[in-house]
Amino acid sequence: MKKINYLLILITLICSFVTICGELDKGFAVVLKDASIIFTIAVPYIVRKVFKIELSEGFITFWIIYIFLNHYLGIIAEYYNKWEGLDKVTHTLSGVLSAYGASLILRYNKTKNIIVNILFILSFSWLCAGLWETFEFACNYFVGGDAQRVAETGVSDTMWDMIVAFLGAIAFSIYYYFLSKILHKNS
């Protein structure tokens, strides 16, 4: 699985590099925004190193695919402007990823109450979605642009982004519930 992850990273970075080279005339800010994929794709490895949290190779594969869809296809290749559904797919996946992050935090929690844990997972994911949309709003306000498509949709795009992220978290919570039941039954 490690070799597959390295291959996926290599493919993502090559695609990004080729696309970025074609955008050098768009200015430093665009190139810097696009080049930030180097950092985002490395996040699981940074988390492992800095926080000493073990992340499964399966999760890292999921992360790399998410970054490819979101950062490369959505932002760098600008498919968010070409295929509206991509935005909802990536926000749904972000809900799953933030829910997984919450489950990692729960490893350090003494509470074994599954309902409390699921409420924490859902709340954490909802918080992440809200913080992301706030970040997008702040970027639009201070830098310009309309990443939230307010001019076109009002608040509908933002609300749907948060709703589908929450649905992703619910899907993860269902998985978490059944996995917890299986692990509890076997212990």
Could you say which of 82, 109, 138 is where a domain stops? Answer: 82
pLDDT in tens, 119-161: 999 999 999 999 988 988 887 777 777 666 666 767 888 899 9
Query: Residue 84's pLDDT is what?
Result: 80
Q: Is the pLDDT of residue 6 over 70?
A: yes
- Report the number of distinct structural domains present in the chain: 2
More confident site: 75 or 44: 44
**Same domain, yes or no: 121 and 30:** no
pLDDT tens digits, 23-36: 888 888 778 888 88
Average pLDDT rounded to a whole number, residues 100-107: 90
Position 96 confidence tier, pLDDT thresholds 50, 70, 90 = very high
pLDDT at residue 102 tops 70: yes
Question: Containing domain of residue 160, as a range?
Answer: 83-187
The band of 186, judged by pLDDT with boundaries at 50, 70 and 90, is confident
> Which of 48, 82, 116 is the C-terminal boundary of a domain?
82
pTM of the model: 0.84
Per cent of the chain over pLDDT 90 is: 50
Do residues 103 and 60 both lie within one domain?
Answer: no
Asked if residue 183 lies in contact with residue 107, where contact means CB atoms within 8 angstroms, the answer is no
